[in-house]
């Protein structure tokens, strides 16, 4: 048997565009395969997202692949997403290669540089193929972009390398799905077209029987079967990769009802790791609103400044929108404020970028001045999982004091006290202080992503903010597992899994 013959098959899940549901479908297929006793792993050669995760060995990959690994019952590994691009603005992205920062890429450099990255992606894929029975690969955007074909890392090049089948997913909720599926196939070169073995229609809100004539015509024109029509799922409950999900959340949110805890999250242009707030979204008696202007701010119980890939640029945006004044007025009125990662940095007094990590070298900016800290950016990136306990004991954190916490850190920069008597940390992680909190506990910040995924801390904080009579309705761990199982059940019912298994030779 040749070494290649021992490698596991690969199923590529490509799409007609970004945000058509590829990530969620891969998660569902990973959970279904796990349920069926197949050792399966997810893979995405190149991801572009500011939603990231940290592997157990301190390496950085896309959040979607970490979620897919969880669906497969695995810890995430860097082989699942060897190339991660984190957009910074000005048509540049930070390149994270095999879990470590590897410089910046300008959009003009993408095609040529991506060609150089293919060997790393191919080796990562084949490592997974050597360890598992099946690899389910997620494409990026659309494979039908002739201008990007030469630098393709994540789409049909993966299928060609593995000599595996590809599915093309289209989002019918956007309209025009049959034209999108047909056009995508027609724009592929013949050798890639031959690898497309099925179409999947996603997010359908009506009666599938109504699609019969259109499906028949599509199949007659292309010779490619439609393997399933996946219905719209209101509450997927799985962390999403694209910030497009926040647009849906913002359009669905309104003023908090009487008795609800009202949480405002500032939707920064380069918001990162926004799934930090998913546990709040799923809590009964809590309303989460994503806002982009001072006029939307209102009078929340808690205002949150989230993580960002570009703290300096997003701080400027915050001021342009008047949100800095809204947050300052909220704090002055005794309102609770929480900053996570970049949000913590913004809450401080100063931000200094001597080496030009985020801005021009020598840049020094005034922060919101709500915490007595200063941040200095550095080229060295911190990526690690961390655990410890809540150290703060005043204000909203009184009931959480001493509770255990765990999460992960991803940041370029360190924050330190600006006064001689130091600063009260919000947490202690590994015995070391983390973040900061005002003397009355009303303003706090931490570098720890996943802070609100800690059930007991979340329950104590929400109780302090006014949610009465509730403990933990369900642990976040339990909710996520149940969400994967619900998702898998829907996809198993509406996708021809027998044909999918036959395509990959299982």
How is 240-270 classified by DSSP, letter by letter?
-SSTHHHHHHHHH--SPPTT-EEEEEE--TT
Q: Which of 161, 180, 411, 449 is the catalytic position? A: 449
Asked if residues 274 and 306 have their Cβ atoms less than 8 Å apart, the reply is yes
Asked if residues 169 and 22 have their Cβ atoms less than 8 Å apart, the reply is yes
Ramachandran category for residue 366: left, alpha or beta (phi over 0 → left; psi -120 to 50 → alpha): beta
Other beta carbons less than 10 A from residue 136's beta carbon: 30
Other beta carbons less than 10 A from residue 53's beta carbon: 28
CA atoms of 340 and 97, how far apart (whole Å) = 25
3-class SS of residue 375: strand
137 forms beta bridges with 12, 43
Token duo for residue 41: 């792993």
CA atoms of 150 and 301, how far apart (whole Å) = 51
Distance of CA 168 to CAs 11, 134, 162, 189, 317, Å?
11, 18, 17, 15, 38
Of 373, 376, 382, which Cα lies nearest the Cα of 354? Answer: 376
Of 218, 277, 221, 200, which Cα lies nearest the Cα of 245? Answer: 277
Asked if residues 248 and 233 have their Cβ atoms less than 8 Å apart, the reply is no
30 is catalytic: no
Of 277, 235, 253, 254, which Cα lies nearest the Cα of 462? Answer: 277
Token duo for residue 328: 């300052």
CA atoms of 106 and 94, how far apart (whole Å) = 9
Q: Tokens 């059930």: give the residue.
A: 455
Token duo for residue 472: 């933990």
Other beta carbons less than 10 A from residue 478's beta carbon: 12
201 forms beta bridges with 170, 229
Asked if residues 315 and 351 have their Cβ atoms less than 8 Å apart, the reply is yes
CA 177, distance to chain mean position in Å, is 25
Q: Which of 161, 341, 411, 453 is the catalytic position? A: 341
Asked if residues 237 and 480 have their Cβ atoms less than 8 Å apart, the reply is yes
Chain length of the chain: 506
341 is catalytic: yes
3-class SS of residue 68: helix
CA atoms of 499 and 506, how far apart (whole Å) = 10
CA atoms of 163 and 156, how far apart (whole Å) = 10
Of 256, 343, 263, which Cα lies nearest the Cα of 301? Answer: 263
- Positions annotated as catalytic residues are 341, 449
């Amino acid at each position: 048997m040749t070494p290649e013959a021992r490698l596991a098959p690969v199923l590529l899940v490509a799409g007609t565009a970004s945000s058509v549901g590829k990530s969620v479908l891969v998660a569902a297929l990973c959970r279904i395969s796990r349920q069926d006793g197949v050792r399966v792993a997810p893979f995405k050669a190149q991801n572009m997202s500011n939603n990231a995760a940290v592997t157990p060995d301190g390496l950085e990959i896309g959040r979607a692949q970490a979620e897919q690994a969880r669906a497969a019952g695995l810890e995430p590994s860097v082989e699942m997403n060897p190339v991660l691009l984190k957009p910074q603005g000005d048509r540049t992205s930070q390149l994270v290669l095999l879990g470590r920062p590897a410089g910046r890429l300008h959009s003009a450099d993408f095609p040529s540089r991506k060609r150089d990255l293919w060997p790393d992606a191919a080796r990562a894929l084949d490592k997974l193929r050597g360890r598992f029975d099946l690899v389910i690969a997620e494409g990026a955007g659309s494979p039908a972009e002739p201008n990007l074909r030469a630098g393709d890392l994540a789409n049909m090049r993966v299928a060609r390398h593995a000599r595996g089948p590809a599915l093309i997913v289209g989002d019918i909720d956007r309209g025009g799905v049959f034209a999108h599926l047909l056009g995508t196939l027609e724009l592929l070169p013949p050798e890639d077209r031959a690898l497309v073995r099925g179409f999947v229609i996603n997010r359908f809100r009506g009666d599938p029987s109504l699609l019969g004539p259109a499906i028949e015509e599509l199949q007659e024109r292309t010779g490619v079967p439609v393997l399933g029509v996946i219905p719209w799922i209101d509450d997927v409950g799985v962390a999403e990769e694209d910030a497009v999900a926040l647009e849906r959340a913002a359009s669905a949110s309104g003023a908090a009802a009487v008795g609800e805890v009202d949480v405002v999250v500032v939707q920064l242009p380069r918001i990162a790791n926004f799934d930090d707030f998913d546990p709040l979204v799923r809590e009964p008696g809590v309303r989460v609103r994503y806002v982009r202007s001072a006029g939307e701010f209102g009078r929340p119980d808690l205002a949150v400044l989230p993580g960002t890939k570009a703290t300096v640029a997003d701080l400027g945006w915050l001021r342009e929108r008047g949100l800095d004044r809204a947050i300052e007025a909220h704090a002055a009125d005794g309102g609770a404020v929480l900053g996570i990662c970049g949000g913590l940095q913004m809450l401080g007094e100063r931000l200094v970028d001597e080496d030009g990590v985020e801005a021009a070298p020598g840049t020094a900016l005034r922060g919101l001045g709500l915490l007595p800290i200063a941040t200095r950016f550095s080229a060295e990136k911190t990526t690690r999982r961390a655990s410890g306990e809540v150290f703060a004991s005043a204000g909203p954190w009184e009931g959480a004091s001493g509770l255990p916490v765990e999460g992960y850190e991803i940041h370029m920069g360190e924050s330190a006290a600006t006064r001689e008597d130091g600063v009260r940390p919000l947490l202690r992680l590994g015995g070391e202080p983390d973040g900061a909190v005002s003397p009355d506990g009303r303003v706090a910040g931490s570098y720890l992503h996943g802070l609100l995924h800690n059930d007991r801390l979340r329950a104590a904080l929400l109780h302090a903010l006014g949610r009465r009579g509730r403990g933990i309705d369900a642990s976040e761990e339990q909710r996520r597992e149940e969400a994967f199982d619900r998702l898998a059940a829907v996809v198993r019912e509406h996708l021809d899994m027998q044909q999918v298994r036959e395509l990959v030779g299982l």
